Amino acid sequence: MSPSKCPHCKGEIKLETVQRETKGVGFIKQEIMYSCPHCGSVLGFSRGKFMS
Ligand SMILES: [Zn+2]
């Protein structure tokens, strides 16, 4: 997987550095919110795997 760039600050987003915040409890309604480590902008949501 290649690194992507933040649409807001053009910072490089890597799987190792992306900010993750898990929403929801348990496995029924769990979402992972990804945000830019540079500017904190929300990049998107995912259920389960990272931007697969
Ligand atoms: Zn950014």
Whole-number Å distance, alpha carbon 13 to ligand 1 midpoint, is 8
| Predicted confidence (pLDDT) at residue 44 exceeds the cutoff of 70 | yes
Whole-number Å distance, alpha carbon 46 to ligand 1 midpoint, is 18
User: What's the CA gap between 20 and 12, in Å, rounded?
Assistant: 15
User: What's the CA gap between 49 and 22, in Å, rounded?
Assistant: 12
Whole-number Å distance, alpha carbon 3 to ligand 1 midpoint, is 13
The pLDDT of residue 26 is 65
Structure confidence by residue, pLDDT tens digits, 3-41: 689 999 999 999 899 998 887 766 666 788 899 999 999
The pLDDT of residue 47 is 75
The pLDDT of residue 28 is 61
